[in-house]
Amino acid sequence: MNTGEKIRNDNWWRGGVIYQIYPRSFADSNGDGIGDLAGVTARLDYVASLGVDGIWLSPFFKSPMKDFGYDVSDYCDVDPMFGTLADFKTLVERAHALGLKVMIDQVLSHCSDQHAWFVESRSSHDNPKADWFIWADAKDDGTPPNNWLSIFGGSAWQWDTRRCQYYMHNFLASQPDLNFHNPQVQGALLQTVKFWLDLGVDGYRLDTVNFYFHDAQLRDNPGRGRPTGEDPAVNAVNPYGWQRHVHDKSQPENLVFLRKLRALLDLYPNTTMIGEIGDDDGLARVAEYTQGGDKLHMAYCFDLLGSAHSAPYLHGVLKRFDELASGGWPCWALSNHDVVRVATRWGGASPNPALLRLAAAMQMSLRGSTCLYQGDELGLPEAQIAFDELQDPYGITMWPEFKGRDGCRTPMPWESESRDMGFTLPLAGARPAAVRPWLPASESHRTMAVDVQSSQEDSLLNFYRRLLRWRNAQPALIEGEMDLLASHPQVLAYVRSGEGQNLLCLFNFSDQAAQWTLPANLTVLQVLTESGLASSQLEAGKASLPAWSGLFALLK
C-alpha cells in the first residue's frame, strides 16, 4: 500500500529485459485447451532461467474475448478461463521469489461493449455515464460524423439504435473508445490502475497509449494516398494507412493524463510503465512520451517490427531516435503478439540461425530496455494457420492478403514428443481427445521445443541464456550511453559507454562477408567472445565479418 508520498525507484527496468507472456498460449494447467495463470506460474522457473528481469502478462481480465482480452468487461477481476485473483496473487508471489518483476497489460483507451460503463452509457442521453464514451450525431445524410477509420477495417463509427447516435471504436465495434475528455473517466481508470498496484504488480504495459484522447472537434483526418514503399507502421492492404492520423489519436491532452498516471505510479516503490505507440511518427512520439521523467518510463513503437532490417535501415532508426530523444528512454522489441515473428519477418521461409543470433545480440546491446516475446528465444517461425482455424477477427476480415495475428500466438512448444508439445501440463491430468488447444500447435515448432534446445549446447535457447548472462555483467550495456558510428552498407556499428567500460558493437546484417575499418580515434583492447559472437575477427584495425555475424570488443 502506498503512503501518499513519492517513493524511491530502483530503476530495475532501465536497461532491463522483459519477457512477454501471452497467457492463452503459454501453458494450460487444467486441460481446457486455453493457457491460464496457474500454467504461467508452473513455467516461471523456465523464464527465470533465461536471465530476464521481469515478465509482461498480456490481458487476463474479465472479457467476452472478442479480441482475446483486449476488450475488458471488468478491469478489476480475472476472467474465469484464466483462473482467479488468488491464482494471480500466487503467480506474483512465485515470480518475486524467483527475482522476476511482474508487469501487466492495461487497456485504457477502450473497453468491451459488455462493460457496465458502456451498458449504462448507451441506455440514454442523460444517464450518469452518458458522456463516458465518444458519442456523435450522424451527418444530415445519415453517414458517420467524420472520416476516421478502424484499424480492423471500415469506419471507426458504429451506429447505436438505443441512442440513435454513433459511437467511436478504433478497433472492433465491440470495443468502444472511452472519452478521456471527461475527468470522471480518467479518475475511474486511475482507480483500476491503483487496484493492481495494491496487489503488488511492478508495472504496466499500456496498450495503445497514444490513443487515449481524440480531437474534441471531430475534424477529418487528412488523406495521404495509398502508401508505397517500406513502412513498418502501415499494413499495405488496410486503408487505415491511407490517412494521416492527426486528429483521432496522439493529441496534446494525452501528455497531461500521462503525468497523472506517472504520479500514481510514483507512489509505489520500484514500479514502471512501458507504452505501446502506434503513430505516423512513432519514434518522435516515444521521445515525447518518455522525456522529462514525468510521463512514461519507457515506450516502444513499430520501427523494428516490420520486415526491414538492413544495416542502413537500422542505423537510420537509431540515428533518428538519438536526434529526437533528449533524455527519452526506448524499449526495443523485435516481436510481440501483434506481428509476424521475427524469424519469418527477417529470415523468410528458412531463417538462417546466424541471423537470429545476430538479431538477439543487437537487440540486447541497444541503449534502452528490451522486450522479448515468448518463443523468440527458440527461434520459432510464424505458424501457418488455415482459414477455418483462424481466431483473430483482424485476420478473418483482411484474409487472404493479411492473415492476422494468430500465426505468432500458437501454443508454446515445451516438449517435442508430448501431445500438443507439452502445452497442457501433466498436472491437468488426461485431457479429452475432443478438447484441442485454442490454436493448433505448429508442427514446424516441434524440433525447436524447449526440451530439445535445452539439451543442445549450441541451440538458440542456450545462446540466449549465455548472451543474457554475459550482458548482465557489462555495465555499459545496462544504462550506458550509445554513440553511433558511421553508416555502412552492411555493418551496423556503435559504441556503448558506461562505468568506465567502452564496448564496440559490430553487426553484419547481410548475407555476404563484410570488411569494416576501425575509426582512427578508437583502439581495441580485447575482442570479447563470452557473448557467443566469436566468428568474426578484428586485427590491425580491420574487422572481417562473415555473413550474419557480429563482434563485441573492449576499447581503450
Over residues 7-32, the mean pLDDT reads: 95
pLDDT of residue 429: 66
Report long-range pairs for 513-516 (Cβ below 8 Å, ≥24 apart): 513/544, 513/545, 513/546, 513/547, 514/488, 514/490, 514/543, 514/545, 515/542, 515/543, 515/544, 515/545, 516/488, 516/491, 516/542, 516/543, 516/545
Q: Which fold has domain 480-555?
A: Immunoglobulin-like (2.60.40)
Over residues 373-382, the mean pLDDT reads: 98
Q: Letter for the amino acid at 459?
A: S
**Interhelix angle 253-265/282-290, nearest 10 degrees:** 50
pLDDT of residue 164: 98
pLDDT of residue 233: 54
Closest CA to 12 of 76, 63, 55: 55
Strand partners, 550: 507
pLDDT of residue 371 exceeding 50, the answer is yes
Structure confidence by residue, pLDDT tens digits, 152-175? 999 999 999 999 999 999 999 999
Reading the block at residue 425, the C-alpha cell is 501440463
pLDDT of residue 303 exceeding 90, the answer is yes
pLDDT of residue 258: 98
Angle at 525 between CA 522 and CA 530, to 5 degrees: 120
Answer for the pair 505, 365: CB distance below 8 angstroms, yes or no.
yes
Residue with the larger pLDDT of the pair 252 and 432: 252
Over residues 194-217, the mean pLDDT reads: 98
Helices (H), 366-474: 393-398, 450-454, 460-472
Find the Cα–Cα–Cα–Cα dihedral 516, 309, 470, 527, rounded to 10°: 0
pLDDT of residue 455 exceeding 80, the answer is yes
In degrees and rounded to multiples of 5, residue 166 shows phi and psi of -95, 145
pLDDT of residue 23: 98
**E strand or H helix at 488:** none
**E strand or H helix at 539:** strand 537-539
Structure confidence by residue, pLDDT tens digits, 330-354? 999 999 999 999 999 999 999 999 9
**Interhelix angle 253-265/183-198, nearest 10 degrees:** 30
Structure confidence by residue, pLDDT tens digits, 129-147? 999 999 999 999 999 999 9
Q: Give how far Cα 69 sits from Cα of 24, 60, 72, 175, 520, Å.
A: 10, 6, 6, 11, 54
Q: How many CB atoms neighbour CB 162 within 10 A?
A: 11
Active site residues: 207, 276
Parts of the chain belonging to CATH 3.20.20.80: 17-111+182-469
Reading the block at residue 162, the C-alpha cell is 438505443
State the average pLDDT for the chain: 95
Reading the block at residue 62, the C-alpha cell is 474479465
Closest CA to 39 of 333, 427, 322: 427
pLDDT of residue 341: 98
pLDDT of residue 235 exceeding 90, the answer is no
pLDDT of residue 467 exceeding 90, the answer is yes
Distance between CA atoms of residues 310 and 415, nearest Å: 35
Distance between CA atoms of residues 466 and 473, nearest Å: 11
pLDDT of residue 434: 67
Is domain 17-111+182-469 in CATH 3.40.50.1970, yes or no?
no
Confidence of residue 1 (pLDDT cuts 50, 70, 90): very low
Parts of the chain belonging to CATH 2.60.40.1180: 480-555
Over residues 194-199, the mean pLDDT reads: 98
Over residues 68-81, the mean pLDDT reads: 98
- Output b/e per residue, 471-507; b: 16+ Cβ within 10 A: bbebbbbbebebebbeebebbbbbbbbbeeebbbbbb
pLDDT of residue 428: 63
Strand partners, 538: 543
